[in-house]
Amino acid sequence: MNFIIRWLVTSLAVAFTVWLVPGIGFAPGANSVIDIVAFSVVLALLNMAVKPVLQVLSLPVTVLTFGIFYLVVNTAMLYLASGISSGLFGIGFYIASFGSAFVASIVISIASSILNSLID
C-alpha cells in the first residue's frame, strides 16, 4: 500500500513538473498519461532502491555543502529514471539541460513533500 501511495504522489508531482518546467517533457505524439504513469513507476522504484545508497555514498559532500548536494542526487535520479524508462519502455521523456533537470528535481521534491503531508 505504501508503494502505491508513493507512486501516485510521484505521478502527480511529475505531471505538475512537466506542466511547469520548460525543458522537461515527453516526445510529441506520445500518450502522456501512460508515459507519466510508467515514468513515475520507474522513478518511485529508483527512489526506494537506489537513492538511499547514493545518499549514503554522497554524505560527506552533502555535509560539506550543507545539504545542497542532495539536490544533485535528486537530479541524478531523474536522469537515471529517464534513461531507464526510455530504454525499457520506449518512453520519450526528455531533459533539455542540466539546469532544467535541476529545477525539475526541486519542483518534484517540493510537490511530493506537499502531497505527502496532505495524505498523512
Percent of the chain's residues with pLDDT above 70? 98
At 32 the pLDDT is: 76
At 111 the pLDDT is: 93
pLDDT tens string 16-64: 999 999 999 887 766 778 888 888 889 888 888 988 898 899 999 999 9
**C-alpha–C-alpha distance, residues 102 and 75, integer Å:** 5
Residue 106's pLDDT band, with cuts at 50, 70 and 90, is very high
Give the side-chain half-sphere CA count within 13 A for 60: 1
Average of per-residue pLDDT across 81-94: 86
pLDDT tens string 59-68: 999 999 998 9
**C-alpha–C-alpha distance, residues 116 and 31, integer Å:** 26
The type of residue at 35 is: D
Mean pLDDT, the chain, whole residue set: 88
Q: Which three cell numbers stand for residue 33?
A: 498519461
Residue 6's pLDDT band, with cuts at 50, 70 and 90, is confident
> What pTM was estimated for this model as a whole?
0.86
At 33 the pLDDT is: 82
Is the torsion defined by CA of 88, 92, 93, 97 positive or negative?
positive
Task: Provide CB contacts within 8 A for 55, sequence distance 6+.
Answer: 62, 70, 73
